[in-house]
Amino acid sequence: MSATMPTDLEIAHAATLRPLVDVGSDLGLTEDQLEPWGRDVAKIDLSVLDEPDTGHRAKYVVVTAITPTPLGEGKTTTSVGLAQAMGRLGKRAVVALRQPSMGPTFGIKGGAAGGGYSQVVPMERLNLHLTGDFHAVTAAHNLLSAMIDNHLHHGNKLGIDVRNITWRRVLDVNDRALRTVIVGIGAREDGLVRQTGFDITAASEVMVLLTLATSLEDLRLRLGRIVVAYTVEGKSVTADDLQAAGAMAVILRDALKPNLLQTLEGGPAIIHCGPFGNIATGTSSVIADLVGVRGSDYVITEAGFGADMGAERFFNVKCRVSGLVPDAAVLVATVRALKAHSGRWTIKPGKPLPEGLLDENPDDVRSGLPNLRKHIEIIQRFGIAPVVAINAFPTDFDSEHAVISALCDELGVRCAVTTHVADGGPGALDLARVVTEAAEERTDFRFLYPLEMPLTEKIETVAREVYGADGIDVSPAAAKALAEYERLGFGTLPVVIAKTHLSISSNPALKGAPTGWRLPVREVRAAVGAGYVYAICGDMRTMPGLPKSPNAERIDLTEDGSIVGLS
């Protein structure tokens, strides 16, 4: 990106937006199926899913990445740029993305609406509140928290073990001081004194089950199944046991409707839900995809972090729920990240890039190729054709791109250089052409494991076949929990592995494609409402903290009420 390129916010402000009714019509939506939220955002009424099935189904493309640096490698911009390029090729394309959390927006990463000339607009609405879905998740989650403490205060009829309450509270802000708190301090009527804490809203189980729900009825059932605690006898206590799920569903009724916005080039963008990528699925909603496949030629969606995390969960969890079979997978790679995987460079968030990193050095890129090779193998393991998108930066060199292309040629994998951030849709035309080719190929999609496989074996299967681990080491506490979950009937659920996104392994310091290591499973939790069991393999922060100089310091209003500093 050149020094003279406008900021993302300046580019967004300069855009001329299409009437949203026209954008919706590109998806086959009528004006009656759109519920306006201001001039440039609308909710999509769920009645669209009740219309007779015409048999049409769009090509379904997931965008994932190699193991990213802390700065991210551009999955969202690539998704938007690809959708814009599809439009320029005469294809009806929709991009389906997660809604940004305001925690990172005001923290260090900034917004998540794409960037440059491949972003979703209006930018401010997208990154700040949008239609209030995150607030609805926060309210529903915390209502359940309040119902737990109220139940304890009024006699604990269910016999909840106060030492075994798993449900915390949430807030959509980065605030490390809330990670561990004591509630109930004060007079007796202020409740039972106990230790709990806060997670960021994106880490709420309510958020991920909203993502996976296929209807209001399904949402209500999932909410009722949420396990919040256990009794002294080991019986699970659910939101239905506390008679809280009905009220939670009421709070979330409108939040289940996906949000319609548009790309800078006027194509439809469905923005819905935003589950944490570390401990949850890290995808946008099933409903958004179901709407998209009915009214477009191509649905471009995104899975969080690298293929080892986001794509694996997309395939094994989201696709099981939606019933949709992916036709292709785009694997985003950057010269910057591959140089980092050479082991010579360390990239830290909030710090300048290391001196010399941007110098022409195809050998460093070549040394980082095992990471790209491994992610290609991960996608192929699911029977999907991968397409490597080289997200080009102005600081790259042709010789460095050539190294990546040579590996793709060796492996028989399609590859394209894309400059969508600087050039918008025209910069992604080559990528769009090879994606359409890949999506026309016959797929042999297959899940990694059957649901009947025991939980421990599922975790080990992911560790060995996706991460390349030699095996797993399960702590006594985790082994006990796994046995208990099998006893309680949770054994047929899929698994999610919560680990670092900065390495294919569980150690963020191990770059490339590590071998000769074992996955430590220190804790296991059940997200029964969402519909999976997750293994915690490392120190997962579910409530981020703010950096020394957060983005919030630079965001402000001008005298005329315009927003400045948003990135």
pLDDT tens readout for residues 175-213:
999 999 999 999 999 999 999 999 999 999 999 999 999
Residues 6 or more apart in contact with residue 50 via CB below 8 angstroms: none
Sign of the alpha-carbon dihedral angle for 369, 374, 380, 382: negative
Residues in the chain: 567
439-475 confidence digits (pLDDT tens): 999 999 999 999 999 999 999 999 999 999 999 999 9
Identify the CA nearest to 407 among candidates 341, 501, 325: 341
CA atoms within 13 A on the CB side of 546: 17
* For range 271-290, the mean pLDDT: 94
Parallel, antiparallel, or unpaired: how do β-strands 268-271 and 59-65 relate?
unpaired
pLDDT at 142: 98
* Residue 525 · residue 565 · CB < 8 Å: no
DSSP conformational letter for 465 = I
* Separation of first and last alpha carbons in the chain: 15
Q: Which residue has the tokens 């959509």?
A: 172
- One DSSP character per residue, 498-514 reads E--SSSSSS-TT--SS-
Q: How confident is the model at residue 1 (pLDDT cuts 50, 70, 90)?
A: very low
Which helix or strand (DSSP H or E) is residue 222 part of?
helix 216-225
* For range 292-299, the mean pLDDT: 96
pLDDT at 547: 86
Residue 3 scores a pLDDT above 70: no
β-sheet with 495-498: strand ranges across: 495-498, 532-536, 523-527
User: Mean pLDDT score of the chain, rounded to an integer?
Assistant: 95
Q: Count Cβ atoms below 10 Å from residue 250 Cβ, excluding itself.
A: 12
77-132 confidence digits (pLDDT tens): 999 999 999 999 999 999 999 999 998 888 876 777 889 999 999 999 999 999 99
Task: Give pTM, 2 decimals.
Answer: 0.95
Residue 2 scores a pLDDT above 50: no
168: phi then psi, degrees, rounded to nearest 5? -105, -155
Q: Is the peptide bond before 326 cis (omega within 30 degrees of 0)?
A: no
Higher-confidence residue of 528 and 561: namely 528
pLDDT at 466: 98
* For range 228-249, the mean pLDDT: 97
Q: What percent of the chain has pLDDT over 70?
A: 99
* For range 503-519, the mean pLDDT: 96
304-353 confidence digits (pLDDT tens): 899 999 999 999 999 999 999 999 999 999 999 999 999 999 998 778 99
